[in-house]
Structures are given as C-alpha cells and as structure tokens.
Amino acid sequence: MACYSHLVNCAGKVVLVTGASEGIGLACARGLLARGAKVAGIARSEAKLRAIDGVFPIPGDLTEPGFPARAVQQTLNQFGRVDILVNNAGVGLYAPSWKASLDDTRCMFELNVMAPLAMTQAVVPHMKATGTGLIVNVGSIAGKMTLPWLTLYSASKYALGSFTDGLRIELAGTGIRTLMVCPSYVNTGFQSHVLGGKPPARIFRARGMAITPEQCAEAIIRGIERDKRTVVTPKLGWAMIAAARLFPRLVDAQLRRVNESHSA
C-alpha cells in the first residue's frame, strides 16, 4: 500500500481555478465542489462561469496586466484565503517552429507561462502568511517529451514544468507545495481553440483513446489529496516518457513519421 506523507482533505479548502469554464478546468471545479471545497473560477466568459452552480465567478483575461492580482484579491475578499491555486488555462499552436507566427507564439507563452507566473506571484504572499498552500500547474505530456507538431507548445509546457520544480525548492520550509500535472490526450476543445494550424490526422483519429476531462480532473484531485509532486494521466504516459528518455532515437523516428505524414 502506498504511503503518503501529507494527505490533504479538500473539504473546506478554498481553490482558485483558471480556465474554469470548460474542459479540464470545469471538471476540476465540479470535482472539487463535490469534495466540499469552495471554488473560485476564472475564465473570459462570464456567462459560462455563472452557469456553474457553486463557483464564485471571476471573469477576465489572465494575460491582461494586473488582472491576476485582482482575481486573487477578489477570492480573498470572498473567502478570506486561497489554499490551492490551479493554473489550468492554456492554449496550443500547431505550426512548425521555424515559420510560426511570432505574435501567436508570444500570445501562447503569455497564457501558458506568464499567466501562471503572475497568478503564483499574486497568491504566494498570502499563502506564506498562513504557512500553507498548494500551487497546481497543469502542463502536458508535451512538456516531458517534445511533440514535433506542437514544438512551441511543448517548449511552453517544458518552461512551466521547470518553473514548477524550481518553485517547489524556492518555497521549501514555507508550507507551500507544488504539483505538476501532465495529461496526454484529453477529449476537450483544445484543438478547436488553438491559435493556428491543425494536428496530424493520426493524432486527430486518436480521439477515441482520449481520456475525458472528468477522468483527468479526478487524477488531478487525487494528486492534490495525496500530496504528489507530479501527476501523469493516464499512467500509460509514464511509459511514453520513459521510452523517450531510454530510446530517444527510436522515439524520434516514430514521431518523425507522424510529423512527416502531417506535413506531406
């Protein structure tokens, strides 16, 4: 039986979730509410947020200067504290790195990297004052092994993972912990929201093997409860990561075939 050093009960915890209006964020918000947490949700669509029973809505754009700090303050005004921050909002870009739009790339890094950083900087002082807290950053398996049809997206998720690891060490002794989440294929609207391009046909056809947002959210919440440092979901993803590290030439060849079929 696994032994966990710091079991977390989500009941009564105040959780701030970004990208809460759909997909993984929505599933996390509902799953946390079901466990008795108090949830504040951030998304650009106020109507979608207000349609989620039990969520305190904070509509706005995470990339707008000053908004992350205001969102944290609104949560503090409503609940008095923030126990857990879930940086879930993100966007993709299907474009070769050597010709991708620099404007689109900047937009992606703003949401995937700078927004979680801004949210973290806004919430950590309050967590330090209470002596406890958890920062959850939702990345991707693409942040553990580069997917060549998503090279720049992979780079943004690698950056998020490195930030998460460094933050954990920086905050050692404060009572604040970090959790990095690396889903593989989740059946959400990710592909329809990308800033440009389309996935390879073989990837699109793999939707039938994707996990649901609810399955992903359950893995995230169990990771929170069990005080994990990293969650890869589904667990088969660990085998893919191991293969990429142990047999890089073989995995590169497989990825190259997928990518060449896409760009042909």
Catalytic residues: 153
Closest CA to 109 of 249, 184, 100: 100
The size of the chain, in residues, is 264
- What letter would DSSP give residue 212? P
List the structure tokens of 172: 């050692």
Q: What is the DSSP string of 106-169?
A: HHHHIIIIIHHHHHHHHHHHHHHHHT-EEEEEE--GGGTS--GGGHHHHHHHHHHHHHHHHHHH
Q: Classify residue 209 by burial, with Cβ atoms within 10 Å: 0-12, 13-18, 19+.
A: exposed
CA gap 119, 71 in Å, rounded = 8
